[in-house]
Structure 1
Amino acid sequence: MSDDSLAIRILTIDDLPAFADVLARAFNLDVTDALTRRDELVFEPERWHGVFDGDELVGTGGLLTRRITVPGGGQTPIAAVTAVGVAPGHRRRGVLTRIMRAQLHGLHEQAREPVTALWASESVIYPRFGYGLGAQFYRSKIKARAAFRPGVELASERVREVGLDQAVPLIKAIYEKEAPQRAGALDRPDAAWEFLFDDPEYRRRDFTALKFAVLPDAYAMFRVKSDWNEEGPCGTLRVVELVATTPQAYATLYRYLLDYDLTITVETNAALDEPLIHILEDPRKMSRPAGDSLWVRLVDVDRALAARRYNAPVDLVFGVRDAFCPWNAGNWRLVTDADGNAEVKRVEDPPDLELDVTDLGAIYLGGTRPSTLAAAGRIKERTAGAVSRATAAFAGDREPSCLESF
């Protein structure tokens, strides 16, 4: 339901205290100087919107200027949606709809980023605005000291724990080498790095401050929570981020973390194709409940589809529905060559496949197969074999993974 008493405008730095207050209340947090400071780290003038009821700020939403790795390698501009919140008492008045419309219509009108993505606090919200489930992850728990299978090769170097100042140059170099190889990974400008390393007390949730374990080809950022019971120590180690550029370094870091003193559990958010389970002697030592990570939205279908590469030559017409961004509705022909490059144009030809723009967002990074959505009744095949050809074309070599929740 829309409320005509509401107005939307671009926020300024002077609005940050009110912004922090709305966002904190929306997510059931206390407003603190540390929370406000974190918001200020990534605040981008002209890209953050506020909805006002008179002089009162009641809704917020921001865009981060980032780049995302797409299938086939390379990175394309993305508007990373963040800090979306509606103050209690002002929900179901159309506040979120106004923010989504300002973001998506503004990106289209200004010919800015062709793709947006977000992490959803509630998974039922954002499909209404064209976002599809583009990547998932495991919330893994591994039993400490779980054995590796025989023959796992470890690095010759010893893992070192270092302070932040020593860790930063190595972490940046390794991440910037690995991120372009993994669909779904974001680049990190200076503000993003500062945001990542910012470590106020409220983010620790009874865990330690960030710790850093490094090798020449890998790093882990982690926290530890001390705990004891009648049987002795029962602490938890939580991996915040682990990146390795060689299999040996990957195995060595996990061996180090699994053997950490006074712990019985290692928690980590893992990609769906995480190698660890295949390193363990007993894969049942690792539980893997799945969760959703990136929700992806194509702002402009033609520019977005042309920005990635494809795994097989294909010539297909997609009949796209898009109620929220009507310029995308219609039939689009995707033609790819042997090198995976694509040409996309609007046509009058009948569609080979019919789908919603949410489904295009879901398959965009290669994490959801068109065949899966067809089996769910979401994609309709109008030409025999079209689903199979689309599935082969959109596939990636690895599952998409985004290490950071923004």
Structure 2
Amino acid sequence: MALTLRTLAANDLAEFQRLVNSAFLFDSVEDQLERWRGLFEPERHHAVFDGDELIGGGGIQSRQITLPGAGPQPVAAVTSVGVKPGHRRRGVLTRVMRAQLHGMHEDGAEAIAALWASEAAIYPRFGYGLAAEFTRLEVPSGAKFRPGVSTGGERLREVSRDEAMPFMKAVYEDLRPSRTGWLSRKDAAWDHQFADTERDRDGLTAYRYVLHPQGYAVYRVKADWRERGPRNELHVREIAARTDEAYAALYRYLLDVDMVGELKFFTAADDPGVHLLEDARLALRGRGDSLWVRLVDVDRALTLRRYLSDVDVVLELSDEFCPWNAGRWRFTVKDGAATVRRVDDEPDVVLDVQALGAAYLGGTRLATLARAQRVSEVTGGALNALSHALSGDREPHCPEVF
């Protein structure tokens, strides 16, 4: 039977969530539907049907993402992409990706899309580049800070969720415009990110909320009681602070919680916690991929952010999946602002849209991608100049999976 594709309606949510759970090998949980409803934009969800059976699909959340030097800008946050077992290798995912990206281009919607990849080999073929990473941080409880670190004299308090949430939202909104990679969060996103049923806890405790006058921290605890005493794990969900001193104070509080053996935190690649420690080697670190970015309309996307230095280069760009981006573009930056226009001039740098998406948030250097044979320099010096201009003042980080 021929496959068909259409957007969804509000009453399709239950069937769509059953598809997503099936694709990710989860049990279907009907009582979580209301949590998803506030995030569900049916007109931005594409689904593929085999007859009457929904066999694949994917959605978009209309969000904002903070770009280097430019603050929050619209982004298509791609989510819930999956194909039902037994229906793979039939081109279902390609149809969904084409409907999303081509539809955004035709409608003049967001110029960029971003996602977390369930499998890293899938999305590069649709033009997504690895744009941000996170650090898996493990620090033993009680680890000392180096001399001279100030944590101030403010009192930190553990409070209820109801008391914490309004304060957390205010702090997050204050910080978001300057934190590359952070997403806008409406109330439904907050509820989803800090959902706290038994299923959400995965064997850990309920969330605990710590407030500082200038920031907050949220954590859970995984029980680990041994004959020599407790070695519980403290799992940090999020730390956010308006000042460096407050950030240090929140770290200090978490490291000093009694009956804990180790702190674990999925945090930004340039999290300062390691450098607060007297013995930096106590902090075990691992890296993993987080945001993958796709430039839907290259000319619009490149003008949305700001740049570190002036540059004037001609890019020869390849993009098989979204061919309107392919060709030669003169990319000129003056005083941080970019202009982009089509030209027939000889190229200075040759690359594909995946590489440009990887470098877009300033975390992945084009010079590094050139060493991986993903980018080619034609004019001497052009690559380093372009790579530096695209770099950011801080590593991009997305503190939530969406």
Where on the TM-score scale, by shorter chain, does this alignment land: which range? over 0.9
Q: What amino acid is aligned across from residue 203 of structure 1 in structure 2?
A: D
Counterparts of 1:17-56 in structure 2, within 5 Å, are 17-56=14-53
The structure 2 residue matched to 1:152, chosen from 128, 149, 159, is: 149
Q: What amino acid is aligned across from residue 352 of structure 1 in structure 2?
A: D
For 1:6 and 1:236, how far apart are their aligned partners in 2? 48
Alignment correspondent of 2:118: 121
Of 72-81 and 195-204, more deviation after overlay is shown by 195-204
Q: What amino acid is aligned across from residue 271 of structure 1 in structure 2?
A: A
Alignment correspondent of 2:249: 252
SS at match of 1:380: strand
Alignment correspondent of 2:92: 95
The structure 2 residue matched to 1:393, chosen from 369, 386, 389, is: 389
1:183 aligns with 2:180: yes
Counterparts of 1:6-17 in structure 2, within 5 Å, are 6-17=3-14
Contact 1:73 1:183 in 2 (8 A): no
The structure 1 residue matched to 2:192, chosen from 176, 190, 195, is: 195
Of 294-303 and 141-150, more deviation after overlay is shown by 141-150
1:143 aligns with 2:140: yes
Counterparts of 1:350-389 in structure 2, within 5 Å, are 350-389=346-385
TM-score by length of 1: 0.97
What per-residue deviation string (whole Å, max 9, x for no partner) do you get for residues 46-82 of structure 1?
1011111111111121101011111113111100000
For 1:145 and 1:86, how far apart are their aligned partners in 2? 46
Q: What amino acid is aligned across from residue 276 of structure 1 in structure 2?
A: G
For 1:151 and 1:389, how far apart are their aligned partners in 2? 38
TM superposition shift of 1:135: 0.3
SS at match of 2:115: strand
SS at match of 1:289: strand
The structure 2 residue matched to 1:239, chosen from 233, 236, 239, is: 236
Contact 2:14 2:30 in 1 (8 A): no
TM superposition shift of 1:233: 0.8
Alignment correspondent of 1:404: 400
TM superposition shift of 1:21: 1.0
For 1:104 and 1:215, how far apart are their aligned partners in 2? 42
Contact 1:71 1:309 in 2 (8 A): yes
What per-residue deviation string (whole Å, max 9, x for no partner) do you get for residues 77-121 of structure 1?
100000111111111111111110010000000000000000001
Of 182-191 and 106-115, more deviation after overlay is shown by 182-191
Contact 2:217 2:236 in 1 (8 A): yes
For 2:44 and 2:151, how far apart are their aligned partners in 1? 46
SS at match of 2:73: strand
What per-residue deviation string (whole Å, max 9, x for no partner) do you get for residues 18-55 of structure 1?
11111111112111134323322200121011111111
Q: What amino acid is aligned across from residue 248 of structure 1 in structure 2?
A: E
Q: Structure 1: which 5+ residue stretches go unaligned?
A: none
Q: What amino acid is aligned across from residue 126 of structure 1 in structure 2?
A: Y
Contact 1:11 1:45 in 2 (8 A): yes
Contact 1:298 1:357 in 2 (8 A): yes
TM-score by length of 2: 0.98
What per-residue deviation string (whole Å, max 9, x for no partner) do you get for residues 342-398 of structure 1?
111111111110001000000000000111111111110011101111012111110
What per-residue deviation string (whole Å, max 9, x for no partner) do you get for residues 295-336 of structure 1?
000000000001111111111111100000000000111111
Of 31-40 and 284-293, more deviation after overlay is shown by 31-40
For 1:216 and 1:309, how far apart are their aligned partners in 2? 32
Alignment correspondent of 1:62: 59
For 2:125 and 2:116, how far apart are their aligned partners in 1? 15
Contact 2:19 2:83 in 1 (8 A): yes
TM superposition shift of 1:271: 1.0
Give the share of equivalent positions with the same residue, in percent: 54
Contact 1:104 1:299 in 2 (8 A): yes
Contact 2:207 2:219 in 1 (8 A): yes
Q: What amino acid is aligned across from residue 335 of structure 1 in structure 2?
A: T
TM superposition shift of 1:283: 1.0
For 1:331 and 1:191, how far apart are their aligned partners in 2? 42
Q: Structure 2: which 5+ residue stretches go unaligned?
A: none
The structure 2 residue matched to 1:280, chosen from 262, 268, 277, is: 277
For 1:37 and 1:200, how far apart are their aligned partners in 2? 13
SS at match of 1:389: helix
Alignment correspondent of 2:315: 318
Contact 1:20 1:35 in 2 (8 A): no
TM superposition shift of 1:189: 2.2
Of 86-95 and 352-361, more deviation after overlay is shown by 86-95
1:167 aligns with 2:158: no
For 2:198 and 2:106, how far apart are their aligned partners in 1? 41
Of 24-33 and 295-304, more deviation after overlay is shown by 24-33
TM superposition shift of 1:197: 3.0
